[in-house]
Amino acid sequence: METTRQIRMAAAWPWISTGARFGLAAVWLVAGSFKVGDLADSARAVHAYQLMSYDTAKIVGAVQPFLEIALGLLLLIGLATRFTAAISAVLITVFIAGIVWAWTQGLRIDCGCFSTGGELGAGETPGYAVDILRDLAFLALSGILVWRPRTRFSVDGVLMGEQ
């Protein structure tokens, strides 16, 4: 027999997951929209990590904003939520690894997560620890959605006959 607490938690999880879904959608939509207006700046931000050639960074920098916007839109409408959250988790993990790489290599760059990024000017200090903690919070949102993808106000729910 289920306890009152278990019943409440079962009722709360779709709402918790909905908050995670909308929060992560906002992250992707904002991040992508800041980059999509200037793909050359996006390429420079990717290249600043010194992990690939400039030609490869141009391709990654051109694709990344559109991928972020696509993930945001899929999460916003709640379509393929678990799959989209899993892709989000992989991408965020790559971003965290990139920031750790930049930090350990002594690079002085803006991560480019919510800006055009690139090398910092004289006197500017990278905020790697804050960037990593922020991205870990975003990773947690992805984890919630991978674990509990049932959300309110979603296409998934309509397709499954839940709403």
pLDDT tens digit string along 10-53?
Answer: 999 999 999 999 999 999 999 999 999 999 999 999 999 999 99
pTM for this predicted structure: 0.92
Q: What is the mean pLDDT of residues 118-124?
A: 82
- The ranges assigned to domains in the chain are 13-148
Q: How confident is the model at residue 163 (pLDDT cuts 50, 70, 90)?
A: low
Residue 118: per-residue pLDDT: 79
* Interatomic CA distance for residues 55 and 47, integer angstroms: 9
pLDDT digit string (tens) for 54-93? 999 999 999 999 999 999 999 999 999 999 999 999 999 9
What is the pLDDT averaged over residues 118-130?
87
- What pLDDT does residue 26 have? 98
